[in-house]
Amino acid sequence: MHHRTTAFLTALLATGLPLAATAQSAHVERLRTALPEIIGGQLAEPGAYPYAVSLRYAKDAPGLEDKSGEGRHFCGGSLIGGRWVLTAAHCAVHIVGDEALFAVGAHGNDLNQLTDYRIDGTWVHPGYNDFTMDNDFALLRLTEEVSGGIPMIGDTSPGPGEMATVVGWGIGDDGEVQRYLREVTVEVVSLEDCNDDNSYAGEITESMICLGVPGEGGRDSCQGDSGGGAITAGGSPVLFGTVSWGRGCAEPELYGVYGDIAVVNDWIDGVIRAGGGFGSAGAPGSDSGAVAGSPGGGAAGSTGTDTHGTPPPADHTAIPSAVPSSGTNENANGATESINAIIGGG
């Protein structure tokens, strides 16, 4: 199983060192030599995806010499309204309790020109399992409201054959994060096809949705795009998936695997309500503080726990949960490998 974060982040976490220590520039440069390459891709039009954000180290993180956006980026995410960003759990588990070391870059296609916003809260889905990648979702709360949010899907995900667009910053042929946002168009693959013996042989759970080009391959997300969004193509786009994992990149039958947002709308809604709502701006495409398109049944005030046994920061001692925590957060012991850069697309 291959996470779709950069190998930089995967290797950083594997060191077991405190994050302040692993932010030292020499360590960062050494880890970046292991980053995989991106193949193909298409530049996104300026301003076409205002919700797309970069998860990155803060400029003042201890020991960082390369303070550019390219040097600090490790995952993607999506603005969903007010102060909130939706991303993948495997991008965010290490942020819990260390928010001061990280930032979210928004408003642009150029990693080096994005505006940084600080993070003051991190919620990881209580059912996240870092071995199976089930429930690979996390929410980040920013210190201020940010424009550009995108509405989210309701109760029903796009069906097989429907088209989708995925955007992100991935790893280039030189082993470095790409400076400019890229896009690719793929289609939704049925759960049955993605779970058959020629594909993932039963590994796809109900919290996942697969995207790719059936019978062909050649287009996919890959290294560096974890947590980024998949949106419906055509009409008014809505966010329905978060980049999660896959085997290889753009291989026929080995589709990209994404978190299926429709499955966790109640959890998202509950966390946002308990965490202060969307603020004055409201949710994109809605007239209230509820998640756009969500059933509004979030369990505000219910309790839950952060994964990996990390105590939540003092400002959010309870995490509402619509999906009970299940399984254990096992470590793949080197069996996982990151992916995530846009493949194909033009």
Instruction: Please state, as a whole number, how many other Cβ atoms lie within 10 Å of the Cβ of residue 110.
Output: 14
How far is Cα 85 from Cα 80, in angstroms, rounded to an integer?
Answer: 6
CA-based nearest residue to 5, from 129, 93, 97: 93
List the catalytic residues. 90, 136, 226
Give phi and psi for 51, each to the nearest 5: -80, -20
Give phi and psi for 72, each to the nearest 5: -110, -15
Instruction: Please state, as a whole number, how many other Cβ atoms lie within 10 Å of the Cβ of residue 98.
Output: 17
